[in-house]
Amino acid sequence: MSKKIVSIVGARPNFMKIAPILRALSAVKECTSILVHTGQHYDHALSTQFFQELGIPAPDVNLEVGSGGHGTQTGEIMKRLEPELIALEPDWVVVVGDVNSTLAAALVAAKLHIPVAHVEAGLRSFDRRMPEEINRVVADVLSSLLFVTEPAGVTQLRNEGIPQDRIHLVGDVMIDTALAMRPQAEATRDARWAGRLPPRYGLVTLHRPSNVDDPLQLEAILDALEQASQRLPLIFAVHPRTESRLKTFGLWQRLSEMPGIILQPPLGYLEFLGLLTRATAVITDSGGIQSEAAWLKVPCLTLRDSTERPITLELGVNRLLGTDPRALLPALESLLRGDWPTPGTSPLLDGHAAERIVSLLLSA
């Protein structure tokens, strides 16, 4: 029987997760695949560029919600998505990751009695101050199919009382994309950075509200980055939220004058992955980058108290530094001394997670 599947995306970290699922769906004749973009991210650098680089077809529907507070943004997505889903009458709504668009779409679909499939289910940081943690918990409880990236997620969902037959350990779709795109990513890096890529460098991304919305914390992070950049040149791809906070707090000038730091706008998928592939270390508060670094075996220094991806710690590549940025320099120094575990690998990171997801969706 033919199935209609509506996939929902909204923000940058959704795009590399949906790309392999859409590709796998398009290979199935007896399936209509429809893509809805909520418009949570709308800048070329955070949205369109990712569609182009990842070969994602233009969305069938764009809700164009834009930025706003959590309630406003989530509510606006719900308001605009509901009539679309009523008209489309899908068999499944697929949501990915943990952004506000994920939460809003899961709520709308569940209330319309449309079954929800959540890709990247079961991840928990156990920190409810992170908006993403609330989004994950709610999306999981509303989902009929929960596709999990790593074993800890399965245990967690069982502990939360989710019926076993809804839970499927499939691996990480983000790694499907990274594996498929790696050659192009390396070529993009070589073309864009020809003659100016330092032989050794650290790659930096920071955008979590807990790190960038508080002026004292952000200033302490700049102090730490300045010290670190005297040991290792740093390429810092600055998220729009972070740039806006740096400017508001009067810190932008100071950062832009640090000699060891190469400031970049938010980078496209290919350029960023290419840079990550060759980095000596990555310094981040992102979730997804911890997984990509673990797969690439690039040491990851995470400026957070918790991670929802414990496998990255078990594989030995990721170290949680906490939120006191003074932990950065000693961690970087021990890494540069070679005092770092030999990274392991996981069979789940094989590049076929999306195929497993689509086959389960179609047989459900």
Stretch that binds ligand UD1, among 37-45, 120-128, 160-168, 320-328 (CB under 6 A): 37-45
Report the nearest approach of ligand UD1 to the CB of residue 13 (Å). 5
Told to check if 119 binds ligand UD1 by CB under 6 A, we report: no
Which are the contacts of 1, defined by CB distance < 8 A and separation ≥ 6?
A: 30
First CA to last CA distance, the chain: 11
Q: How far apart are CA 223 and CA 83, in angstroms?
A: 49
Q: Which is nearer to ligand UD1, 309 or 356 (CB)?
A: 309
Binding mask 40-59 for ligand UD1 (x = CB under 6 A): xxxx--x-------------
Report the nearest approach of ligand UD1 to the CB of residue 125 (Å). 11
What sign does the dihedral 101-105-38-359 (CA atoms) show?
A: positive
Told to check if 12 binds ligand UD1 by CB under 6 A, we report: yes
Q: Which of 3, 91, 115, 131 binds ligand UD1 (CB under 6 A)?
A: 131
Told to check if 75 binds ligand UD1 by CB under 6 A, we report: no
Q: How far apart are CA 286 and CA 232, in angstroms?
A: 21
Using DSSP bridges, classify how beta strands 61-62 and 92-96 pair: parallel, antiparallel or unpaired.
unpaired
Q: Check: CB of residue 331 under 8 Å from CB of residue 228.
A: no
Q: Which is nearer to ligand UD1, 11 or 246 (CB)?
A: 11
Report the nearest approach of ligand UD1 to the CB of residue 79 (Å). 17
Name the amino acid, one letter, at 131: P
Q: Which is nearer to ligand UD1, 280 or 306 (CB)?
A: 306
Told to check if 95 binds ligand UD1 by CB under 6 A, we report: no
Which residue from 89, 45, 34, 84 is spatially nearest to 63, judged by alpha carbons? 84
For residues 197, 199, 201 and 203, what is the CA-based torsion angle, rounded to 10 degrees?
Answer: 40
Determine whether 207 is an active site residue: yes
Q: Which of 240, 260, 316, 351 binds ligand UD1 (CB under 6 A)?
A: 240
> Which of 37, 41, 118, 207 is an active site residue?
207
CB atoms within 10 A of CB 335: 18
Q: Which of 17, 37, 118, 207 binds ligand UD1 (CB under 6 A)?
A: 207
How is residue 279 written in tokens?
A: 């980095």
The DSSP bridge partners found for residue 62 are 37
Residues that bind ligand UD1 (CB under 6 A): 11-13, 40-43, 46, 67, 99-100, 131-132, 207, 239-241, 244
Catalytically active residues are 207
